[in-house]
Amino acid sequence: MSVPKGSLELATAPEKRLAQLTLADEMTRTVHGAEGLAIAQRASQVLFGGSMEGMKADDLIKVFANVPSRELSLDSVRDASFLDVAVVSGLCKSKGDARRLVNEGGFYINNIRITEPAGKITGDMLVDGRVLVMRAGKKNYCLVKVV
């Protein structure tokens, strides 16, 4: 008797949710095609802390469409301190909260952990020169649109 493909993995690692992921992939492919599936998979990776490398500003704006966002001028973002931008964007209530977040390892810019509270936003952090993704903890995002 042969074991169906994936059955052994389902039995030994149910926390990986292989059946649910396979169903979601197939439904997305059916509705949106192979390209839509690839975009959805990439968006999921980014939303759960994966690398944003290779992502364009327009892609990030779509991925983070349902996330709080702020429009800030280039002058208020470029060369500004991480803490100032975290407060102005609304991600943190105060510089003290932002500093604590950095010191506790829960502050991210473009899904890269920030470990130095005295750091500044550099031009290369801005995706296509117009988007910055800030995160507090695992799920609290803010998309900064530079205008």
Q: Which residue has the higher pLDDT, 127 or 64?
A: 127
Residue type, 8: L
pLDDT band at 10 (very low <50, low <70, confident <90, very high): low
pLDDT digits (tens, 9 = 90+) for 45-60: 777 777 788 888 998 8
Q: Reply yes or no on domain 57-146 having CATH 3.10.290.10.
A: yes
Q: How large a percentage of the chain has pLDDT more than 70?
A: 93
Neighbouring-strand partners of residue 140: 136
pLDDT band at 1 (very low <50, low <70, confident <90, very high): very low
- Cβ atoms of residues 106 and 51 within 8 Å: no
Q: pTM of the predicted model, to two decimals?
A: 0.75
Residue 43 CA to residue 78 CA, distance in Å, equals: 26
CA 140 vs. chain centroid, Å, equals 10
Residue-range domain boundaries for the chain: 7-47, 57-146
Residue type, 6: G
